[in-house]
Structure 1
């Protein structure tokens, strides 16, 4: 967990800029940036779930029955962690949209010919000086609406589960 803490100490956007600058204009670079900077929160969540699971009677009963470590993980730990991993992955989607938009806006994300909210924001910023404020307001509003609705969708599924 010390390695996780060390990676969390580095600002995500700064690390994203460094990684994306090596692979300019690549969707793979965006995916790598999001995975590299956000797996740590999921690792912390899984670790805390496993530590709390070790204190429960179900886990103690499995240990007393002679389950091996692999059996404990497969039969006791994995069913408990899979739901949390799905929720964590779903809640990561809005943040990934922001990462992609930011990196594309800075010129390190998707190429200009591919559709992206970041490229729409970049074009809107360029036309803002000519008095076309709506060309920036519409993509910015769409970005906020997209991320809020995705986060709301996943949070509502979490509360019903």
Structure 2
């Protein structure tokens, strides 16, 4: 019997696994908020065991609960920041390619300006200017991650403008808005969706980075960056689990988002339809 388990089904399987893991982390984080903050000095500095798989910290807090809660916060920030950034990239990319030379020059100049500034420096400056905290982190990440996707969208629109049906629509007197909504948006949606998903891992890593450096979320929130930053003080005393497990879970989360984006890209690619 012919083997019907092809590559596309494998991609769908990995896509489902990654999405289920990310949803499970987000839902679990909602129920771990109190446990992540609870202190108990009778169980402080416990190594990983059956009752506490990730051990406990110097205040007796359950590191498993703190890690799950921190990941859920990072995922929520990543989703909000990536969505804002992707929508901004989509709008500016379309405007740049359809609204004339002046608009194209302005948008291209802004893209070059943002990309010309060191990424982490610009991210930290925006976060501090916006008051740090949750709002500052989301705005900082969103305003520094849209440029590459905007360039991609702009390039796709420039190619679409040369298509015969687009030129025919213009000769028939159709407006730019009609052409964009009717003829361009359906072609741009796959690139937009894949670009949106692939922005998530970058958003999560940069949120954790600036929080680790002390420019992001406040210390009261059990974010992954806060957990890793605090753990650095205790690594020399042999408390290796304080940084190891949160770091591994952060990597797994980023890989899940990246896998999701890559699998979506392959599934939406017409060239892979025969596989």
TM-score range, shorter chain: over 0.9
Contact 2:197/2:260, CA 8 A, preserved across alignment: no
Q: Gaps spanning 5+ residues in structure 2: where? A: 1-107, 269-275
Contact 2:127/2:215, CA 8 A, preserved across alignment: yes
1:101 matched to 2:208: yes
**Aligned length, in residue pairs:** 161
Aligned to 1:61: 168
| Partner SS state of residue 126, structure 1 | coil
Contact 2:195/2:261, CA 8 A, preserved across alignment: no
1:135 matched to 2:235: no
| Partner SS state of residue 233, structure 2 | helix
Match of 2:152 among 41, 45, 55: 45
1:27 matched to 2:27: no
1:13 matched to 2:131: no
Aligned to 2:264: 157
1:87 matched to 2:179: no
Q: Which moved more, 1:99-108 or 1:131-140?
A: 131-140
1:159 positional shift = 1.0
TM-score calculated relative to the size of structure 2: 0.56
Computing the radius of gyration from Cα coordinates, the structure with the larger value is 2
Deviations 1:38-65 (A, max 9, x none): 1111211111010010121221222232
TM-score calculated relative to the size of structure 1: 0.92
Match of 1:118 among 196, 209, 225: 225
Q: 1:63 to 1:24 in 2, by over 3 A?
A: closer
Distance 2:263 2:221 in 1: 32
Question: What RMSD in Å do the two structures reach over aligned CA positions?
Answer: 1.5
1:25 positional shift = 4.3
Distance 1:129 1:60 in 2: 67
Aligned to 1:71: 178
| Partner SS state of residue 162, structure 2 | coil
Structure with bigger helix share is 1
Distance 1:91 1:22 in 2: 26
1:24 positional shift = 4.5
